[in-house]
Structure 1
Amino acid sequence: MDAKLGFEYDNEGDILYINKRPPYSEQESEEIDYGVIARLNPDTGDIENLEILFFSKRLSEKTLFELPIIADFRLAATA
């Protein structure tokens, strides 16, 4: 499924959410790195959402923040 990425930041919880689709209860969750939670499609295992805990703290401590995933960036089709 091709989808635009959505970003939401929870200032109170210091969590960055990266979403390809809205989360749903059937997704499986896996911590893929310390404080990085992937929400996976239960049928395909594809990552559909990421939750990055302690986001502002991570940015303030390092000049480079890396995620343990491979991304395929392409422009979204416009209607």
Structure 2
Amino acid sequence: MSLAQTADVACTKCKFFDDHVAQMQAKDDGLCRYNPPVNQPSEKAHGLWPVVSRTDWCGHFSLDGAATAGNAD
């Protein structure tokens, strides 16, 4: 079964997803913390983390260990 066919695959369930609500314009968005922030052209500009939707997913998807730890029987 591929990841695309699994209901548990979504950025919101990934250990690299940061639900940074205070800085997000849309409540369904978050930050992907898998890779380092992307540098900006100006020296004084801050790096930016990629903004992703809670329902997005990618090839780096990894279930959040904290979310799954309580479900192991």
Going by fraction, where is strand more abundant, 1 or 2?
A: 1
TM-score of the superposed pair, with normalisation by structure 2: 0.25
Greater Cα radius of gyration, structure 1 or 2: 2
